[in-house]
Structure 1
């Protein structure tokens, strides 16, 4: 039986392991597609699929946002949709700027923005990014990136008509990486030489073109001797430089050198390719070898036709054919080609307008989506802030309520003690005793020993009778009770009456009467808890509620309402 269970466990373990392997086989390949390495391999040949994978990667949140936008920018740039390329490069740039964790990628995005801005003819913007990127490249110690941006600055200056400044930046870029032995720097230097030769050719600076061409030839020799580069790359570099050297040498009337360079060009494998043959057309036109121009252009034109590609490159081939037929005086063919060129230009213009509209629409949709995302983020943030505020408000109010409850509890306890003490003081004693005891003993002794001792004794007797009359007849309950009324009872002048009150109560007449009224009010609060405060005040001789409240609190330490509440408890 134990063996039976053991077999079941083994099979269960094996089945679980097999399922996990199957699951891994089903999941891993899918996620392998959502990587920078994979998408970077396919975005040139399969741009639409690359964009789809990037959208899915963004939804799955399995790639960094800056890298997703970087790859989108590269893909759109490869599709010649430079506006969209700029939008996504800018997004990646902003993310890198905010995060500040990957300065090398920020530098790459700055270079892309400078180059794409140049392609979009946004020269001022391109100069801004190039200048910013140069500072960043110097900070990071990246000479290659600095050279790229310096060359980009030169191209901007050149297009803006500042030729001298443009060539100065070209030279700075070249000097910065000249002498570097790493593969990337040498490839970049060869590329810079080629671009500078093109600009110099367009400006008719043939001597300088020849000098740069010879420098490039030396560089290619060094690259070939290092054996680090593929033979096909070296061969292609030789074909580029020799055909340009042949052209410029012929322009300088160095015909033997031109012919020698052309033979060197013809000896390269790249010269036998369709596009390599087409590269020879300017030199062949210059040497009036028109039939060869037509032969060499035909192969490349067929390649472009097979790709169903009608672009600027195809137009340049047709224009070379126009020049060749013009040299052969075949004006009928020239007219046909020019008509074809016009039709193609019109078609390209329509496509360009349509593509521009589609690109703008795509950019608009992206911006709208970003706005929606921003709105959602804002709403979520506001919701979070509101919740935090509400929680904070509730906690704060709870704290204040607790403090208030605690304070009220302390006050109630204190008031209970005060009420008990007040009741204890008032209940066993008569008002007469309370009043007499309120007089300080020291004062009485002094008065007895004074020269006016007889007057004090008489005042004491008079006050006792007055107090008895006031209490018996409850004169203090009348709000209209005046000093004159009491003076008439004891038959004293005002001065002696005031002394009598002072000697026997320690205060003035108002304090004495109000004290009796307050004692009466306390008695009413104890005996008649259902009476209103106004009724108690009026019944006690007070015709003003504020006065009643103030005097009551001064005497007892609490308001009448608080006293009443404590009594109910």
Structure 2
């Protein structure tokens, strides 16, 4: 449709619109995603527009592109074993137009070179004649093309001064079964008679072509050209009356063709606008569809990501639960051993008290000096260690039995007053026998007590357990609990319920 509209605009001189639609052909092909070799039809249209505008350089450049791309398309189809007839006929058209332009511009040798390329195309089509289109070319269509090229070569050889070859090719055209019937072949025959100045034969062949009955449509561009040719011929023969009559008919037909082209332009333009509207609607729908697909992909991706995160969370939760159960069993086992050990130590202490002998009189100062002098340093150190252990056990028993650690206001000084040992010595034996500082030791007692509350007092909140265990606030309790046992108080309580 764009091609017909371009032809109409060229005929009416609307070159800007013709160029715009020619470029739109290229855009449509590019949007379709086809290879660049399919651009040849659009480049051919642009070449015709430039030719009509008088820009011969651009016209030849775009026509050369069209011919080159059409050849590339033929090569691709040969490799894929696709039908070739359609593209061969297009190449014939491009070569014909280019040859005609070169002849008009006086470059006859170049025009002849392209006409010979057209003959090569005829030879390529010859094995394909006699069958249905598009795989083959019908016999009549082939004969018409063959006769036209022969006539074209006859004219160009004559123009280049090779009259013998011109006569040879003219004879081949005359042997064609469609000689004298096909309009294009008659046109070449008439031009040949004009070249050899056989005006009587020219008029004889041209007069039947101006008869309206020879055309399906009386307003035909070829009929207008024949009238123009007859007018020129009559003028050369010195018959001004006949020339004027033919000129008048040529002008009338040109006006009728222009009016028809305008009407056709309006119809094709309306159709083209409607087509553009439909294309825009399709583009909008495609854009909406792409957007919906993108949204679906994003939603599916998010759902898969959420599912993966949930699976990882469930897996992590199970791992943590198993770890907490193992840790809780170890804690309970430790507390059980600790309680048994404390009970055994208490029994030993009571037995020792029951078996203790009466205390002997304290030795005098002089005796103590002598005794101290008799002891070696190792014995003195062992005696000090033994007394430290007794002091620690007494101090530890008092704190545990009276549950002094439950007092959140319990201070270091309060703890030091529980033993006659100096404060430096207390810190030392606490570190030796517990591996902790005094503060760490007290916090451990509080944690052990909180474990009992967590197991036995299910109605207690975590905050209540922390306060009842001697901690100032629940956050400190939870932090110390996690550092010591690797889980939170709530997680430990949960393991006791499972």
The TM-score, its normalising length taken from structure 1, stands at 0.59
1:402 to 297, 311, 316: 311
Q: 2:276 is matched with which residue?
A: 367
2:436 to 507, 512, 523: 507
Distance in 1 of aligned mates of 2:152 and 2:415: 122
1:245 to 167, 192, 197: 192
Q: 1:134 is matched with which residue?
A: 71
Q: 2:170 is matched with which residue?
A: 217
Q: C-alpha displacement at 1:424, in angstroms? A: 4.4
Offset from partner CA, 1:234-281 (integer Å, 9 cap, x none): 97598566544332122xxxxxxx48xx7xxxxxxxxxxxxxxxxx6x
2:448 to 505, 512, 519: 519
Distance in 2 of aligned mates of 1:435 and 1:338: 140
Q: C-alpha displacement at 1:501, in angstroms? A: 0.6
Report the secondary structure of 1:231's partner residue. coil
Q: C-alpha displacement at 1:456, in angstroms? A: 1.8
Report the secondary structure of 1:489's partner residue. coil
Alignment of 1:270-285 (within 5 A): 283-284=202-203
Q: C-alpha displacement at 1:121, in angstroms? A: 4.6
Q: C-alpha displacement at 1:515, in angstroms? A: 0.8
State whether structure 2 residue 213 is matched by structure 1 residue 303. Answer: yes
Alignment of 1:71-150 (within 5 A): 97=34, 112-121=41-50, 123=59, 126-138=63-75, 140=78, 145=88, 148=92
Unpaired stretches in structure 1, ≥5 consecutive residues = 1-71, 99-105, 225-229, 251-257, 263-279, 285-291, 437-448
How well do the aligned residues superpose, as a CA RMSD in angstroms?
Answer: 4.9
Offset from partner CA, 1:437-468 (integer Å, 9 cap, x none): xxxxxxxxxxxx98622222111111122212
Cα gap change, 1:85/1:418 in structure 2, threshold over 3 Å: closer, same or farther? same
Structure number with greater Rg is 2
Q: C-alpha displacement at 1:481, in angstroms? A: 3.6
Distance in 1 of aligned mates of 2:116 and 2:474: 95
Report the secondary structure of 1:182's partner residue. helix
Offset from partner CA, 1:124-172 (integer Å, 9 cap, x none): 6554343223234346478984964872684597499694895386167
Cα gap change, 1:166/1:249 in structure 2, threshold over 3 Å: closer, same or farther? closer
- Asked if the contact 2:153/2:166 (under 8 Å) is kept, the reply is no
Cα gap change, 1:197/1:120 in structure 2, threshold over 3 Å: closer, same or farther? farther
Q: C-alpha displacement at 1:505, in angstroms? A: 0.7
Distance in 2 of aligned mates of 1:130 and 1:395: 54
Offset from partner CA, 1:367-400 (integer Å, 9 cap, x none): 3222322332333344344334433432342233
Q: C-alpha displacement at 1:407, in angstroms? A: 2.7
Alignment of 1:86-485 (within 5 A): 97=34, 112-121=41-50, 123=59, 126-138=63-75, 140=78, 145=88, 148=92, 151=95, 154-155=98-99, 158=102, 163=107, 167=111, 170=114, 173-174=117-118, 176=120, 182=126, 191-195=148-152, 206-208=159-161, 210=163, 213-217=166-170, 219-220=172-173, 231-232=177-178, 242-250=189-197, 258=198, 283-284=202-203, 297=207, 300-303=210-213, 307-320=216-229, 322-323=231-232, 327-330=238-241, 334=244, 344-426=253-335, 429-430=338-339, 433=342, 452-485=381-414
Report the secondary structure of 1:490's partner residue. coil
Report the secondary structure of 1:452's partner residue. helix
Distance in 1 of aligned mates of 2:494 and 2:100: 88
Distance in 2 of aligned mates of 1:514 and 1:120: 97
Distance in 1 of aligned mates of 2:457 and 2:343: 23
Distance in 2 of aligned mates of 1:342 and 1:434: 133
Q: C-alpha displacement at 1:303, in angstroms? A: 2.0
Distance in 2 of aligned mates of 1:160 and 1:298: 26
Report the secondary structure of 1:470's partner residue. helix
Q: 1:60 is matched with which residue?
A: none
Alignment of 1:43-82 (within 5 A): none
Q: C-alpha displacement at 1:73, in angstroms? A: 8.7
State whether structure 2 residue 470 is matched by structure 1 residue 533. Answer: no
Distance in 2 of aligned mates of 1:531 and 1:189: 108
**Which protein, 1 or 2, shows the higher relative CO under an 8 Å CA cutoff with sep ≥ 6?**
2
Q: C-alpha displacement at 1:347, in angstroms? A: 4.4
Q: C-alpha displacement at 1:415, in angstroms? A: 2.2
Distance in 1 of aligned mates of 2:31 and 2:391: 98
